[in-house]
Amino acid sequence: MRVFITGGTGFVGRQVTQELLQQGHQIRALVRETGKSLPVEVETVSGDTTSYEMLADAALGCDAIINLVGIIREFPVKKITFDRLHTQTTKNLIRMAQETGIRRFIQMSANGTRVDAVTGYHQSKWRAEQALRDSDLDWTIFRPSLIFGADDLFVNMLAGLIKTLPVVPVMGDGCYRLQPVCVIDVARSFVQALERNDTIHQTYHCCGPEQFSYDQVLDLIGHALGRSRPPLKLHQPLCLMKPLISIFQHLPPFPMTSDQLTMLLEENICNSSNWQEVFDLQLTDFAEGIQQYL
């Protein structure tokens, strides 16, 4: 199968690309700039998913689309917004699929996406999902939780804090739960779904095998780094941090936004038994997984 992939140079995209090649698929990857780091077997085309005019013919001759475009933070001055990158991108890709005769469409959404979402991130992901559901395409939607792997942002960022700071700052009580999922498990299910009719018009929640509090995640990362004791934590009162974040979130160097804090406190957990059973996955243990790359 010839697969058109967007977001192929990102953290998840590189793993999906590797899995596609291992399964014998041909790949055409859309990139904003040619020459980005992708295997030599991958055909690349330049384009911009937020502009249909720069996208229209990019997938001619392909059999399926995998959309992995996503951001976790907006920079409106640079026209980097949730609506443009999540919702409008998906609508443009749906239109392209319909006009080029592509039926199969795999979409990466996010755990926590829902009709009554309160953050802009989840709202834009929901609108993207709805656009797919309203289409006549053979779609499958995946909603991963926090994804970990060798090149991830979250675990490596926390590892950096543990290595450099005597005390790690924690928002609130640190009891809110996370259920990290391995990027390899996510990528394998994306690729499996391509040729499985039983996954058409299905939405899968993708979480790891165990839930951990935020404090426990820090402890596991510290252990993977070889620390004999859990990292020291300084729990920041939310009544002070929420207004502070609201004021400074528009500065690019500031490490957190109000939306990100809300999503953290909402927790990132799910029941992923259906996803695991359908794709026959032996889910990677978080502690063992991070040990391999930290």
Residue 62, domain extent:
2-148+181-208+270-284
53: CATH: 3.40.50.720
pTM of the model: 0.96
Residue 59 is assigned to a structural domain of this protein: yes
88: tokens are 């409008």
64: tokens are 């399926």
If you search the block for the tokens 């039926």, which residue do you land on?
103
Residue 232 is assigned to a structural domain of this protein: no
Residue 247 is assigned to a structural domain of this protein: no
Residue 21 is assigned to a structural domain of this protein: yes
Dihedrals φ, ψ of 267, to 5°? 80, 160
Residue 111 is assigned to a structural domain of this protein: yes
Pairing mode, if any, of strands 104-108 and 138-144?
parallel
Q: What is the CA radius of gyration of the chain?
A: 19
The tens place of each residue's pLDDT in the chain, 294 residues long, gives 999 999 999 999 999 999 999 999 999 999 987 556 789 999 999 999 999 998 989 999 999 999 999 999 999 999 999 999 999 999 999 999 999 999 999 999 999 999 999 999 999 999 999 999 999 999 999 999 999 999 999 999 999 999 999 999 999 999 999 999 999 999 999 999 999 999 999 999 999 999 999 999 999 999 999 999 999 999 999 999 999 999 999 898 898 999 999 999 999 999 999 999 999 999 999 999 999 999
Determine the Cα–Cα distance for residues 113 and 126; give it in Å rounded to an integer: 6
SS3 letters across 143-157: EECCEECCCCCHHHH
Residue 46 is assigned to a structural domain of this protein: yes
Displacement of CA 259 from its chain's centroid (Å): 16
Residue 201 is assigned to a structural domain of this protein: yes
The domain total for the chain is: 1
Residue 143 is assigned to a structural domain of this protein: yes
